[in-house]
Amino acid sequence: MTETTNTAASACAIADAAHAAATSATAPDIVCAANIAENPYKRDFPLLANHPDLAFLDSAATAQRPKTVLDAQRRFYEEMNANALRGLYRLSVEATEAIDVARNRVARFIGAPKAQDVVMCRNASEALNIVAKAFAPTVLEPGDEVCITIMEHHSNLIPWQQACRAAGAKLVYLYPDENGIITPEEMDAKIGPKTKILSCVHVSNVLGIENPVKELGRRVHEQGGYFVVDGAQSVPHVKVDVTEIGCDFLAFSAHKLFGPFGMGVLWGKDELLNAMPPFLTGGEMIDNVTEQDATWAPVPEKFEAGTQDAAGIYATAAAVAYVESVGIDVIEAREKALVAYCMEELGKLDFVTIIGHPDANMHHGVVSFNVNGIHPHDVASILDMDQVAIRAGHHCAQPLLTWLGVENLACCRASLAFYNDKGDVDKLVAGLNRVWSMFHGE
């Protein structure tokens, strides 16, 4: 290996060592992680260390970043900064190398067979727009159907409204049962020969439920359609493997995965990415340009027009490395324990109504609820006085809130990450008791 690639390579080696340590995670490690009275993780996150009294329960909106991610972003600018891809000098080559290393790491993390099928973009919304605006028009005909669920975040809903409108296709919704489960009968009724695309949120940002993506993918493929998965809320919480799921596209954001803002990932099947036209056009995404025409660079550059946020890509890889060093199985076990405790404690409050499945195992990091008769915005503002940060509102899922029929079309949401602990949940419960007593006396 030449000197030019040493920095990127050494960063990778460090992360690899961490990964090796993590993949040797044993059952006792998972048991320790599930002990929510202890919290060995908070110290990795400078913001949480700087706000020791804060109960941060809004990780589904954006997660906190570990020091390793912040350091990686800074290290890129201090040690590797140059415009990647086109440079013929050492630093630029090194920046290019850093992006390649990062892309490989992300690919491995999501089980992608080829690193070049990992397209780096701004966020999950942009990733889904690439599919809806560049891929969908190549397959949708008038009268075709695009199928989504009623629990989509607006980012996996509006692009399909637009795509259907442009193509003369129909947008069809899968509705879950009262517990949030999409039943086989519902799939039978909605997924058929007209279904050209099924795009589905993997884990709902309101209900926390994991949709049966393997089954949905199998069914739409049987009908000759394509399967898109919005992994924004699943990738940070459960093992997501594109090969195992059998999807055609997967989208997610880095900032919910403890990575930087402004970075997203679209993975697509090699043959689909190669066949579809680009989304954004301009610099870096071309092969050859003449006065009246242009040819495209190979995937993934074809979808990465303009100067890339190389530091952001590098930091995204650091976030993946961090998650791997903790271990996704450890993260899942701890979050399950946290959610179970949270639902058990909220269940003791007779003025709180939990939204979604009654079984805590069906909630992945998310517990939505309402305080009877009190507007969620009041609840959130009063909790804030006690340094409990939750989200309240429609959670960018207005059709879901409408379908749920909750008052004011809004609800409260506590979203937990593995860096939370029992104390955070206890603060939430104490805060909710205060909310109730403020409105109804002691």
**Residues noted as catalytic:** 396
Nearest-approach distance from CB 393 to other proteins, in angstroms = 7
Nearer to other proteins, 386 or 426 (CB): 386
Contact criterion met (CB below 8 Å) for 132 and 288: no
CB of 48 to other proteins, least distance (A): 22
189 vs 385, beta carbon nearer other proteins:
385
- Looking at the Cβ atoms of 29 and 378, the one nearer to other proteins is 378
Compute the least distance from the CB of residue 402 to other proteins, in Å. Answer: 10
Judge if the upstream peptide bond of residue 212 is cis by omega within 30 degrees of 0. no
Least distance from other proteins to the Cβ atom of residue 374, Å:
7
Which spans of this chain sit near other proteins (rule: CB under 8 A)?
374-378, 381-382, 385-386, 393-394, 407-410, 434, 438-439
> Which residue, 12 or 412, is less far from other proteins as judged by CB?
412
109 by Cβ neighbours in 10 Å (0-12 / 13-18 / 19+) ranks as buried
CB of 409 to other proteins, least distance (A): 4
From CA 208, how far away is CA 233, in angstroms rounded? 8
Angle between helices 90-109 and 310-326 (to 10 degrees): 40
Decide whether 65 or 394 has the Cβ nearer to other proteins.
394
Place of tokens 């090194």: 94
C-beta closer to other proteins: residue 134 or 158? 158
Amino acid at 141: E
Q: Least Å distance between CB 158 and other proteins?
A: 15
